[in-house]
Structure 1
Amino acid sequence: MQGDGDASAVDSPAFLANLHAGLAQFWGEQMQEMEVLEISTEQAFKVHNDLPLARIKRIMKSDEDVRMISAEAPVLFAKACEMFILELTLRSWAYSEKNKRRTLTKEDIQEAIEKTDVFDFLVEVIQ
């Protein structure tokens, strides 16, 4: 798993072990969900998503290099976005609990982003 690394305060080994265990469980559940997904038609798969496909398609088309978008692309992007949001929330919640709070704050999200290498592309957004 890619790092929970170079931020100013170092997380304890117990916290990191707990976070990694939670993430392993999360991704295991995601894989299991995908393996047993019973979608009989393309339309059924499209309505399975919680994010608005029309908005995702509009965002994709905002790139001037994008000419055509297959029907499956927004559906896959929606699922990828959902998984991204879920992982970021899980990581943020771990920092909220670490600070002995039961409320997720923007500081928890910032800390999760700063301490996760794969979220480096978001660091400028939260500054």
Structure 2
Amino acid sequence: MAEQKSEKHNCLLPLSRIKTIMKSSPDVTHVAQESLFVITKATELFVQDLAKTIHKKSGSGKSVSYKDLSTLVDEEENMQFLQDIIPKKILAKDYLDKQNNTESDDDIVMLD
């Protein structure tokens, strides 16, 4: 039992927040303490690995920018599941131009 308590204090992320996120799924009714700990540690390790990878690829010294993160997510196949959460930034003008071009392409009717 003492080992389990020391494991809880070994987490950097708050267990209560992770549990809240897990329980926000309609499929989850109960979260066992063991699974909560494992999910929390896995999340911590993922975030640490992500930060180290971005830092290596950015080569900018002490800091990492959002652009570095979004570029990594866009280029790395195993990170593409994050594209909806971490999209590349674009200017509003560029987005509107892209939308207008898409709409004008939809208006074109091909006649044979």
Q: TM-score w.r.t. structure 2 length?
A: 0.70
Show the counterpart of 1:124: 84
User: Over the residues paired in the alignment, what is the CA RMSD in angstroms?
Assistant: 1.7
Please give the secondary structure, in 2, of the residue aligned with 1:64: coil
Question: Aligned runs of 1:29-44 on 2, under 5 Å?
Answer: 41-44=3-6
Question: Aligned runs of 1:84-99 on 2, under 5 Å?
Answer: 84-97=46-59
Q: Is the 8 A contact 1:113 1:120 kept in 2?
A: yes
Unaligned runs of 5+ in 1: 1-39
Is 1:76 the counterpart of 2:57? The answer is no
Is 1:50 the counterpart of 2:12? The answer is yes
In 1, the alpha carbon distance for the partners of 2:22 and 2:75 equals 29
Show the counterpart of 1:115: 75
Deviation at 1:102, TM superposition (A): 3.7
Amino acid at match of 2:70: Q
In 1, the alpha carbon distance for the partners of 2:39 and 2:48 equals 14
What is the count of residue pairs matched by the alignment? Answer: 87
Which has more radius of gyration? Answer: 2
**% same residue:** 28
Deviation at 1:56, TM superposition (A): 0.5
Q: 1:101 to 1:71 in 2, by over 3 A?
A: closer
Q: TM-score w.r.t. structure 1 length?
A: 0.62
